[in-house]
Amino acid sequence: MGLRMACTRKFVKKVKIKNNLHRMPRFNEKKIPYAKQNELMDEFCDILSRLGTKEKIYNFLKDLLNRKERMMIIRRLLIAKLLEQNKKYKEIKDELGCGGSTIAKVQRWLHFGRGGYKEAIYAPKKE
């Protein structure tokens, strides 16, 4: 193998590694039993409710999630809010730069989920 080929392979490998850093972390949820996932979710909710103040929750989420992960969650909430304001898909796409499939998922959860989106959107602000 010539020097040129070796350099090219090394470059491709570096590019692949670099590109993987920009993706959302993934895990195989099938490796964690469903009952355990529910238990962990309950524990996570308990942690959030124990934090109490907006400032403590803010600091916790800033420590827990990177900027991209936080923005993905925030964007979903904004999509739900805009859908509740009867905004069209195109308006939401233009405003938030998201895809139609993301909007459709949020709309499905908004209408057929457990009501969490609506509770979050319409919850009265604490003073």
Q: What are the pLDDT digits (tens) for 16-69? A: 444 444 455 566 777 888 899 999 999 999 999 999 899 999 999 999 999 999
pLDDT tens, residue by residue, 101-126: 999 999 999 999 899 988 988 888 77
One-letter-per-residue 3-state SS of the chain: CCHHHHHHHHHHHHHHHHHHHCCCCCCCHHHCCHHHHHHHHHHHHHHHHHHCCHHHHHHHHHHHCCHHHHHHHHHHHHHHHHHHCCCCHHHHHHHHCCCHHHHHHHHHHHHHCCCHHHHHHHCCCCC
- Residue 3 included in any domain: no
Print the domain residue range for 103: 66-127
User: Does residue 72 share a domain with residue 56?
Assistant: no
Please indicate, yes or no, if residue 120 is contained in any of the structural domains.
yes
Does the residue 4 lie in any domain?
A: no
How confident is the model at residue 32, as a pLDDT? 87
53 plus 100 within the same structural domain: no
Number of domains in the chain: 2
Same domain for 74 and 127, yes or no, is: yes
Q: What is the pLDDT of residue 15?
A: 46
User: Are 76 and 126 found together in one domain?
Assistant: yes
Provide the pLDDT for residue 21.
Answer: 46
